[in-house]
A and B are shown apart, each in its own frame.
Chain A
Amino acid sequence: MTLTQKDIQQLKEKMAEGYLPQWVLTDPDIFRLEQEKIFARTWHFLGHESELKEPGSYVTRWIVNDPVLLVRTQTGQIKAFLNSCSHRGVRLCTEDFGNKRAFTCPYHGWTYDLDGNLIGIVAGNKVFGQNVNKEAWGLRPIPRLASYQGMIFANLDPNAMSLEEYLGDMKWYLDIILGRSDGGMEVRGVPHRWIAKGNWKMTSENFAADPYHVQMTHRSTVEMGITPKDPLYASYGHQVVLGNGHGINVITTESGQSPNPFQGTPEAMWPMFERNLSPAQLQVFRNATVLVGGVYPNLSFISSVNGSEEYKYNHVNFRVWRPLGPDRMEIWVWFMIDRAFPESYKEKSYQAFLRTFGASGTLEQDDTENWARIVEASGGIMARDKSLSYNNVLNYLMGFGNLEPDANFPGPGVAYPTTYTDAVARSMHEFWLDLMTRE
């Protein structure tokens, strides 16, 4: 299936007017095309280097429906293979993580080392002939693998641009979180994993482009007296369009300053931040209450602050929305913390994370309800009508034609002087269409 010229024309026209046709959310053909045109061609987050502690460490991951075996070799290199035996295609490793010297297929016993070399064929040359060519039948590598600040990404497209080029201006913001501390960050334990209803485009948009939802989706925290009554409270700050579908919201307060400098991190760590970050990065970090964004297509992150009245703790999580269909996804959430932080602070940060995000998080619970309701109401004739005769377009008009970028913002990208705008969302959907229509 490809998009017809008529579809493309319509999508372009509607997006140029600030709309998104609703049918692209749940159309099964669109989802099949997204797998080929988007997920097989963009950089996909697999895990963090701290999850592979020593030679032989491995984790199993997915790039949508491609199973991936991510290993640290005997020489300490990180490699990624299709987690499928080259003989009959069996999923080679079904564990989530572990440490091994070799992987043996349970079907016929073919065995591979950590570099993916086929090192054992049961009855080898007796049954396959004298000149069995083991070199030709190693594990199939994922075509591209690269890391940025400890974050491991893969790409199924051998001709893709480099990871750093793809991340572009997003690197400057990722550095504030991932590069602020000596030794970087580490994953605690394993990721949360659960299955929820939703379309990956909408959940990616929720983090990269949508602080506007905070005032209503998370109104229970206002009712509880935890967050201010001002419906604009999540709007103060900047939303930054970063290109290639990436975006971030640098949220602060009405005064432009955070009551908890550097997101409530321990003061003893601040000189370290000053060493590792530029003055402009420090300025953004010092005044931010929340940094929430997304690396296109389906990696999102948030660095937030929670705790009691007296003590506030910064907590960071990264998440992948692994689409299982147009209306379902497996959510993976990694809690991450600076290695250099005191152990007692790491523990408090973890507690603050668990109360707000992850499968039981009091904020995330209510997000899952709204993500479900989008797809539940987008599967019928009226929502899916491709001629749009039911006015079945979604509204991305916030800040459309009535908001100018702020030239004084210290970071790269196109920064708008509020986070209540659909600027990043529009750029994500335009990039989506660009990818979907590439040859």
Chain B
Amino acid sequence: MNAEVHHSIAQFLYREAYLLDYRRYLEWLELLADDIVYRMPVRVTTVNEPGSTNIVNDMAYVEETKSGLTIRAQRLFTKSAWAENPAPRQRHFVSNIRVEAGPRENEYVVRSYFLFKRSRSSEPGTEELFGEREDILRQVDGQWRIARRTVYPDQAVLSVMNLSMFL
């Protein structure tokens, strides 16, 4: 993959993380293609077998369209979305970005590792989630749009008290 495309995609993902961390969810929604499929399937522990997977696609923690994500984001701006009011402080760390050609000419398959950390209230402990994301990024009029996002958490039992965040 040429360095220019890789750099451009990395900068896009960092900007996305910034918008999420600062709860600029409405601007974040603008980064999503109208036909986005956003999923977070469930990780499980299974025996090692050739070709087997420890992801259960039949059950997800989140499975959303753009309109569903919009409703979720709008809800977080109500006065009584208690999970985020007061808002926890959050950081999305994105690394290990790999870019490959995508299913269409203007699309790329982008895999990245994520580490999400959150600090709630005056709790000294922090919550975290980590794993890998598999995105399809689409170039539309010189802008990147997320056309598909699959979030693979590494934990079979999540150690966050809820999934109010976007990953």
Contact = CB atoms under 8 A, between A and B. Distances in A.
Contacts of A224: 71, 74-75, 78
Given A193-B156, A193-B157, A194-B157, A362 B75 contact: yes
Interface string A356-376: 001110101110111010001
A359 B62 CA distance: 8
B158 A96 contact: no
B79 to A, nearest CB: 7
B143 interface: no
A365 B73 CA distance: 13
Contacts of A220: 75, 78-82
Please indicate which of the listed interface residues A94, A190, A220, A351 has the most CB atoms of chain B within 10 Å of its own CB: A220
Interface residues of B, number: 35
A354 interface: yes
A40 B45 CA distance: 27
B46 A189 contact: no
Interface string B66-110: 001001101100111111000000000000000000000000000
Given A98-B46, A98-B47, A330-B157, A196 B162 contact: yes
Interface in B107-143: 121
A198 to B, nearest CB: 9
B29 interface: no
Contacts of B75: 220-221, 224, 362
A369 B59 contact: no
Contact of A189 (B59, B79, B159, B164): B59
Contacts of B80: 216, 219-220, 222-223, 366
**Tier of interface size on chain A:** 35 or more
A351 B65 CA distance: 10
A368 B40 contact: no
A194 B68 CA distance: 22
Contacts of B159: 194-195
Contacts of B60: 354
Contacts of B121: 376
Contact of A196 (B46, B68, B161): B161
Contacts of A358: 61
B83 A194 contact: no
Contacts of A194: 157-163
A141 to B, nearest CB: 24
B26 interface: no
Interface in A181-196: 188-196
A236 B22 CA distance: 41
Nearest to A355: B68
A217 interface: yes
Given A194-B161, A197-B161, A365-B162, A354 B62 contact: yes
A350 B61 CA distance: 11
Interface in A202-227: 216-217, 219-224
B44 interface: yes
Given A94-B45, A193-B157, A188 B83 contact: no
10 contacts: A194-B162, A217-B82, A220-B80, A222-B80, A350-B63, A351-B63, A360-B163, A366-B82, A368-B83, A369-B82
Given A96-B156, A220-B79, A223-B80, 4 more contacts: A95-B45, A190-B42, A224-B74, A350-B63
Interface of A: 94-98, 188-197, 216-217, 219-224, 330, 335, 350-351, 354-355, 358-360, 362, 364-366, 368-370, 372, 376
